[in-house]
Amino acid sequence: MADTQSRDEAFDEGNSHLALGELEKAEIAYRKAVAFDDDFFDGWQALGMTLLKLEQVKEAIGCGIKATLLEPDDLLAWTGLSQMYVRDGQIAEAEHAKGNARILSMGGKVTNLGKS
């Protein structure tokens, strides 16, 4: 069982650091949040986008994939993952993620075989 109070406190701390432009401190706080709860979608999404800003693209992609596995019908998760793939030069993967975002923006659903 996740310690949601500690998870949420770490997430809020990360958001505060992010708002101040303290990316390294935000990264540490978001890592704490997902350590408390491995299924914390918002934490994975925030960590991934923070890592992307820190040019840690490969790890950002891992976080982005985790976010889409947790919430396959989240438009922003797919959009973020597409941006991560573009930054890494993985154009086919970026187009796939962008396509999923497009499906969601039109009210569709994404079939995610990786989620049980």
CATH topology of domain 4-105: 1.25.40
Does position 114 have pLDDT exceeding 60, yes or no?
Answer: no
Q: At what angle do helices 75-88 and 41-53 cross, to 10 degrees?
A: 30
Q: Which of 72, 82, 80, 81 is nearest to 104 (CA)?
A: 72
| Predicted local distance difference test score (pLDDT) of residue 5 | 81
Ordered by start, the domain boundaries in the chain are 4-105
Taking CA atoms, 58 is separated from 34, 36, 113, in Å, by 18, 23, 23
Give the confidence band of 30 by pLDDT, cuts at 50, 70, 90.
very high
**Average pLDDT across the chain, whole number:** 93
Does position 25 have pLDDT exceeding 80, yes or no?
Answer: yes
| Predicted local distance difference test score (pLDDT) of residue 115 | 42
Q: What stretches of 1-116 show up as alpha helix (H) in DSSP?
A: 4-19, 23-36, 41-53, 57-70, 75-88, 91-105
Q: State the pTM of this model.
A: 0.89
Q: What is the pLDDT of residues 7-20, one digit of tens each?
A: 999 999 999 999 99
Place of tokens 């303290």: 22
